[in-house]
Amino acid sequence: MTAFEIPQRGEARPDFVQPRQGLREAELASVGLALNATQIRLLDAYASLVRRWSKMVGLVSQRDLAQFGARHLLDSLIAVKAVREIQEIWGGQPLRLVDLGSGAGLPGVPLSVALPEVSVALVERSVKKARFLSRVQRELDLANVRVHCKDFAHMPPACCHIITARALMPLPDLWKCAGFLLKPQGCLLAFDRIGRSQRALGEADAAPEGFPGGSILARHWERMAGVRDGFWASGLLVVRRNDSNHSGGQSEGRRWQNHDQR
């Protein structure tokens, strides 16, 4: 029996498949997204793998595991619309997306499920987390995913069309350190989670950024419900690399390479 077949009566379920605590159609619709049954099953199985291995590998806090669907899966999937818009910019040609500091595979794994036509590289310098990501790739049979256990500073320049990063470092620093990975006209999709008030959203929209060699294409703040003390907002900033002379480069990126890689 494969990981995603429905077991017959009396047949044991694979131990990593648990009752779904992932996304529902209404939640997907709230961010303008529809997935087919196979994609939803893959996301459910991925969530189960994270729950199974989280404590041993240090993937997600126990508090976040209880609401993994909305706080992590849905948060990651808000980038699907932006990626599809970037596909149009590139005339529908095959795109390569690099997910930096992928950790538990967020947002790279959910995006690879929702966008099977996009090649996704999960870049993670922690050996333990990279091994977990390789397990996810094998068990979910994600043909469009490759795992790289390395620091992104060692990756070749202009190697991708899209960069994603979630809670990796402050956004201007991320641009300076990782912008060299983008092809000209490539885009950084930088995730952020802000506030629990409308005022916080307004302050985020007004906050200045510095992205030398790049320009902000879009800003999305999705209001997410389900938090006891109000709401939290998932932010996505889309920054395009304007030319091939972007000042951010490998010298900047190497400032981040000498971290623990256990």
Residue pLDDT, tens place only, 241-251? 986 554 444 43
Give me the pLDDT at residue 203, please: 46
Give me the pLDDT at residue 30, please: 66
Q: Is residue 17 part of a domain?
A: no
Q: Is residue 63 part of a domain?
A: yes
Q: Identify the weakest region by mean pLDDT among 10-24, 117-131, 132-146.
A: 10-24
Task: Pick the most confident of 17-31, 149-163, 215-229.
Answer: 149-163
Give me the pLDDT at residue 12, please: 34
Helix axes 127-140, 37-57, angle to 10 degrees: 150
Whether this prediction's pTM lies above 0.75 is answered by: yes
Q: Is residue 16 part of a domain?
A: no
Give me the pLDDT at residue 256, please: 35
Q: Is residue 14 part of a domain?
A: no
- CATH number, domain with residue 141: 3.40.50.150
* Residue pLDDT, tens place only, 102-129: 999 999 999 999 999 999 999 999 999 9
Q: Is residue 9 part of a domain?
A: no
Q: Identify the weakest region by mean pLDDT among 24-33, 49-58, 173-182, 236-245.
A: 24-33
Q: Is residue 128 part of a domain?
A: yes
Q: What are the C-alpha distances in Å from 241 to residues 155, 200, 213?
A: 17, 28, 6
For 141, other C-beta atoms within 10 Å of its C-beta total 11
Overall domain count for the chain: 1
Mean pLDDT on 45-74: 83
Mean pLDDT on 69-88: 88
Give me the pLDDT at residue 200, please: 44
Give me the pLDDT at residue 94, please: 94
Task: Quickly list DSSP for the chain.
Answer: --TTSPPPTTPPPPTT--S--S--HHHHHHTT----HHHHHHHHHHHHHHHHHHHHHT-S-HHHHTTHIIIIIIHHHTTHHHHHHHHHHTTT---EEEEET-TTTTTHHHHHHH-TTSEEEEE---HHHHHHHHHHHHHHT-TTEEEE-S-GGGSPTT-EEEEEEESSS-HHHHHHHHGGGEEEEEEEEEEEEE-SSHHHHHHHHH-----TTEEEEEEEEEEEEEETTEEEEEEEEEEEE-STT-S--HHHHGGGSSS---
Mean model confidence pLDDT for the chain: 77
Local confidence band at 60 (pLDDT 50, 70, 90 cut-offs): confident
Q: Is residue 18 part of a domain?
A: no
Q: Which two tokens stand for residue 144?
A: 């469009």
Give me the pLDDT at residue 143, please: 97
User: Taking 50 as the threshold, does the pLDDT of residue 237 lie above it?
Assistant: yes
* Residue pLDDT, tens place only, 160-219: 999 999 878 888 888 999 999 999 999 999 886 554 444 444 444 545 456 888 888 887
DSSP state of 235: E
CA-closest candidate to residue 126, choices 150, 153, 146: 150
Q: Is residue 87 part of a domain?
A: yes
Domain containing 181: what range?
A: 25-256
